[in-house]
Amino acid sequence: MKQIIQSLKTGQTILEHVPAPSLQPGAVLIQTARTLISAGTERMLVEFGQGNLIAKARAQPDKVRQVLEKIRSDGLLPTLETVFARLDQPLPLGYCNAGVVLAVGAGVHDVRPGDRVISNGPHAEIVAVPQNLCARIPDGVTDDAAAFTVLAAVALQGIRLVQPTIGERVVVIGLGLLGLLAVQLLLANGCRVLGLDLDAQKCALARQFGAEALDLSSGADAVAAGMAFSEGRGVDAVLITASTKSSLPVQQAARMSRKRGRIVLVGVTGLEFSRADFYEKELSFQVSCSYGPGRYDEQYEQQGHDYPFGFVRWSEQRNFEAVLDLMASGRLDVTPLISRQVALTDAPAIYQELVSDRSLLGVVLTYSDQPVACETVVVAGEAMQATRRRVTTTAGQATVVAGVLGAGNFASLVLIPALARTGATLRTVATSSGRDAAIAARKFGFARAASDYREVLDDPAINTVFIATRHNSHARLVVEALSAGTHVFVEKPLALNRDELSAIDVAQQATASQLLVGFNRRFAPLAVQMRRLLATRSEPLSLIYTVNAGTIPANHWTQDAAIGGGRIIGEGCHFVDLLRFLVGHPIREVVARSMGSAPGLAVREDKMTLTIRFADGSLGSVHYFANGSKQFPKERVEAFSGGRILVLDNFQRLRGYGWPIFSGQRLWRQDKGHNAEVAAFVGRVQQGGEWLVSWEEMREVSEATFSAVEQSAMLP
């Protein structure tokens, strides 16, 4: 199928061939009929992409601060590589979609195949959308009109925050597509409306809808106009839908408002204003968040947990439904807002026109009504013909044919580049969206891209599978891949609980395939050097591993025990494994303590100390803390034994104290072992032999993290 993507690196808009997304539980699969190009938002993305690095930095000062922090912790070169790699990842465009339901996933009951629906799906011939982000289109509302629903819901949410009442006088600053939708919605609420803009044609449209409007391009005074509109009392509310770097709209809004007036920002402006203006009038100021309650809430959007109707009357989905009802009743008319209707195939050209012609409002993209579903795309021609049985590798055989499941940030920035460097044959990459798979396939040279993971597991040409999906799918995919007879590399964690671990245990006993968990730190050059030095010890080790982990929002998927496993199981396994590697003896006991309950402490698990006792008497502590400063090294390992000490900082510098022939070693850049790990795994698959890390070690590490979390949960 075809989908529009845009390069953040160059600003180029591309109509890409990608696999159709796969249908997941709780989701709706939709064949698109119309999408709306949101001129303001999508023009801004194109202009950002076309800007040079300095312009990009100026546009995102928060990102610049993150880059500087990363330079301090990881070094200049790794940071620059990460920045350029992220800019090289194309962005899907669009969020205003109307189409027909093809299929629904498990747990979806509100819509059925054949229903016409709107969603926040992108510009693509087929989209998969969570059930709470779509709504049925009423009879009588055309596909062209329905495509405006999501954008209108953005305006509606801003108006709900204004809380207008009949007869109030409200000013809308900025009469672009969003502002003109807001004008109609305010009029439907019984308000008198004044629109302000620098474009005479947009002002004329506002008047056509029944509002008063003033063209500011002639130098008219916006504040004076607002005061005149309110008969000198000051307006009741101001809705700012403009997009500008200037703070002038906020300043004007404050000056034209009455005492205790309300100002809501829906667009994007500067936020420098006079405290006196707000203080003397006791003004309220609020920034509206997208379509309404539920936006960016993983539980609501991705997992389908709706808010109770009696407590959250207007969620995202219910705002969509309200907009559609207004369209059906004729109180919201978007027909005058359609500047152009363009076939999907002509979309790249219209994006360039968006930048040069700022008078464009709503551009509706039209789609074919012919079936377009396709779960696999051949990217570089078939690398080989599928044989009747799976390709096998034997000692001395040089062919590793790889399939990759997942192409998120880590896979695209770290894992797949490391795999490509090994010279393995890259056969298929699969992601549920299909889009990310196609992007990764073209970038790294895979022959095929797919949206169904079974395209990898069922392909007899593939003998080695790399798993880099979300944590809750790891164990299931490992079992399926081992059962299919492939070698398996799986990113950490191996499993989220003991039942999953037991299932893998059974599967690995029934196969001769290689299995490796992505514990890359044990392959880092300085960690290998550290173990080499410690191998000469004559007594047990005392180890301290300090992890300055940094905070992650409590609602992030990695913090969800059912999806990410939490930070100790999901990430802490790395650090337990490195201690296990350095000691070289089995784990005998784990004692864990997390931070006690405290006011405002949303998460306790990411502030934990694990004390590990090993079979040789060695003792290791992992201090996993998310409440530190980014100016401190992210990872520090200290080893004490026989009057000697080794200190490893951020896998870039190793220092020795009391060692007669070793004082220290420093790398020119941080190296956490990813390349060496993948190369070693590919080499072992080619050559055969024992696993790089024994099953006993991988199981010990997983069980240690399970035990730590269980102990932490029992503490007050």
* 30-39, 76-85, 105-114, 628-637: segment of lowest average pLDDT: 76-85
Asked whether the predicted pLDDT for residue 423 surpasses 60, the reply is: yes
Angle between helices 177-188 and 149-162 in degrees, nearest 10: 60
pLDDT-derived band at 395, boundaries 50, 70, 90:
very low
How large is the average pLDDT for residues 525-548? 96
Asked whether the predicted pLDDT for residue 383 surpasses 60, the reply is: no
Render 615-657 in DSSP notation, one character per residue: TTS-EEEEEEESSS-TTS-SEEEEEEETTEEEEEETTTEEEEE
Give the model's pLDDT for residue 243: 87
* 75-84, 536-545, 663-672: segment of lowest average pLDDT: 75-84
Q: Do 136 and 160 meet the contact criterion of CB atoms below 8 Å apart?
A: no
Residue keyed to tokens 């290689």: 514
Alpha helices in 493-620 (DSSP H): 498-509, 525-534, 566-567, 573-583
Query: What burial class does residue 352 get, using C-beta atoms within 10 Å of its C-beta: 0-12 exposed, 13-18 middle, 19+ buried?
Result: middle
pLDDT, tens only, 683-706: 999 999 999 999 999 999 999 999
Q: Do 635 and 547 meet the contact criterion of CB atoms below 8 Å apart?
A: yes
Which amino acid is located at 690 in the chain? Answer: E
pLDDT-derived band at 387, boundaries 50, 70, 90:
very low
Q: Do 122 and 3 meet the contact criterion of CB atoms below 8 Å apart?
A: yes
Q: What token pair was written down for 323?
A: 């907009």
Helices and strands per DSSP (H, E), number in the chain: 25, 31
E strand or H helix that includes residue 238? strand 235-240
In whole angstroms, how far apart are CA 656 and each of 214, 344, 652?
A: 73, 63, 14
pLDDT, tens only, 336-363: 999 999 999 999 888 888 877 778 889 9
Asked whether the predicted pLDDT for residue 297 surpasses 70, the reply is: yes
pLDDT-derived band at 68, boundaries 50, 70, 90:
low
Closest by Cα among 79, 93, 85 to 42: 93
Give the model's pLDDT for residue 606: 86
Give the model's pLDDT for residue 189: 95
Render 363-379 in DSSP notation, one character per residue: EEEE---S----SEEES
Asked whether the predicted pLDDT for residue 305 surpasses 50, the reply is: yes
Give the model's pLDDT for residue 650: 94
pLDDT, tens only, 250-293: 999 999 999 999 999 999 888 988 899 899 999 999 999 999 99
Delineate the domains of the chain, giving CATH numbers in brackets.
2-148+296-366 (3.90.180.10), 154-287 (3.40.50.720), 376-520 (3.40.50.720), 521-670+691-713 (3.30.360.10)
Render 118-134 in DSSP notation, one character per residue: EES--SBSEEEEEGGGE
Return d(Cα 351, Cα 46) in angstroms, integer.
8
Residue keyed to tokens 């004692």: 591
Q: Please give the share of the chain, as a percent, with pLDDT higher than 90.
A: 74
Asked whether the predicted pLDDT for residue 553 surpasses 90, the reply is: no
State whether the Cα torsion 640-642-644-650 is positive or negative: negative
Report the first-to-last Cα separation within the chain, whole angstroms: 53
pLDDT-derived band at 379, boundaries 50, 70, 90:
low
Give the model's pLDDT for residue 396: 46
Return d(Cα 551, Cα 600) in angstroms, integer.
14
Q: Do 264 and 162 meet the contact criterion of CB atoms below 8 Å apart?
A: yes
Asked whether the predicted pLDDT for residue 8 surpasses 90, the reply is: no
